[in-house]
């Protein structure tokens, strides 16, 4: 594709598992320096879409361009130098320290002819500083709180120094304070010039911290755009099958969804119906 935009450009992605299509003709574009959130009900294909973008599941059709390069035309190492993925439930080696974990982020930059360097050390140091985890560098990861661990995992991803960062539900199982802490950090990552795409189950949090919202249902993208114009009562009804009011946060005007008590709809209804 000629003149692929900087950032992330996904077009016509179709992903299947044996016997069923999971992602159907999905596409979206996120410029460098912006945050996009993929939202939708459980099982709609959000994580599968993210995995396909990260080259963990080959699509039947469609294209993924990161920082102008066709990811599926690259080798594994060059692709990993453009896109980093933090899965929903990452696993670390037993007793690994925070510094040891963050160093794993430099793996795509290593090779037979290139060993650990000052550049790698600087990348690790910068990632620890950016996530506020420098003071935890010598601590064991498994002895930290959930919020601290998530910041350390984010530091590992940042140490990879990719222009595109993918996060699968980065605030899952965190309390409100840590949710805000992590999402503020995500926004800072984007402000530094990277493209961030995350799967989010919290629609209000996604709306507040994202520049672009991508709404999915049954494997298809049913709506996308700026959160303030995309999040509507009809979209909430279509996605989640509930009647809701969409209010505006007094601080920044971002959409806040308030479900009406006892107003559950059996199945989602198309927006505008």
- For 21-56, the pLDDT digits (tens) are 999 999 999 999 999 999 999 999 999 999 999 999
Q: Is 266 exposed, middle or buried (0-12, 13-18, 19+ CB in 10 A)?
A: exposed
Tell me which residue of 241, 259, 224 sits closest to 46, measured CA to CA. Answer: 224
| Cα three-residue angle 171-161-165, rounded to 5 degrees | 35
How would residue 2 be classed by pLDDT, with cut points 50, 70 and 90? very low
- For 124-167, the pLDDT digits (tens) are 999 999 999 999 999 999 999 989 999 999 999 999 999 999 99
- Rounded distance between C-alpha atoms, residue 24 and residue 220, angstroms: 5
Mean pLDDT of the chain: 91
* Domain layout of the chain by residue ranges: 8-82+162-264
- Rounded distance between C-alpha atoms, residue 247 and residue 149, angstroms: 33
CA 187 vs. chain centroid, Å, equals: 12
In this model, does residue 16 exceed pLDDT 70?
Answer: yes
The pair of structure tokens assigned to 9 is: 């450009």
- Which homologous superfamily does the CATH classification assign to the domain defined by 8-82+162-264? P-loop containing nucleotide triphosphate hydrolases (3.40.50.300)
């Amino acid at each position: 594709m000629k003149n692929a935009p900087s950032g992330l450009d996904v077009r016509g992605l179709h992903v299947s598992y044996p016997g069923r299509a999971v992602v159907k003709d999905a596409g979206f574009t996120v410029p460098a320096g912006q945050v996009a959130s993929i939202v939708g009900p459980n099982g709609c294909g959000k994580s599968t879409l993210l995995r396909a973008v990260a080259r963990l599941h080959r699509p039947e059709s469609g294209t993924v361009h990161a920082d102008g390069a066709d990811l599926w035309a690259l080798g594994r190492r060059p692709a990993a130098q453009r896109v980093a993925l933090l899965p929903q439930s990452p696993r670390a080696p037993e007793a690994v320290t925070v510094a040891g974990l963050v160093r794993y982020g430099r793996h795509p930059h290593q090779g037979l002819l290139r060993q650990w360097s000052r550049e790698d050390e600087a990348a690790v140091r910068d990632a620890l500083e950016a996530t506020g985890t420098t003071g935890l560098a010598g601590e064991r990861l498994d002895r930290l709180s959930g919020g601290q661990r998530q910041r350390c995992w984010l530091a590992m991803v940042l140490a990879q120094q990719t222009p595109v960062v993918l996060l699968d539900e980065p605030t899952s199982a965190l309390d409100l304070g840590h949710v805000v802490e992590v999402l503020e950090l995500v926004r800072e990552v984007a402000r530094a010039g990277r493209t961030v795409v995350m799967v989010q189950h919290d629609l209000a949090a996604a709306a507040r911290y994202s520049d672009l919202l991508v709404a999915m249902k049954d494997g298809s993208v049913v709506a996308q755009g700026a959160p303030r114009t995309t999040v509507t009562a009809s979209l909430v009804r279509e996605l989640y099958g509930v009647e809701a009011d969409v209010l505006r946060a007094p601080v920044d005007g971002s959409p806040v969804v308030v479900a009406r008590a006892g107003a559950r709809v059996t199945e989602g209804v198309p927006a505008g119906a």
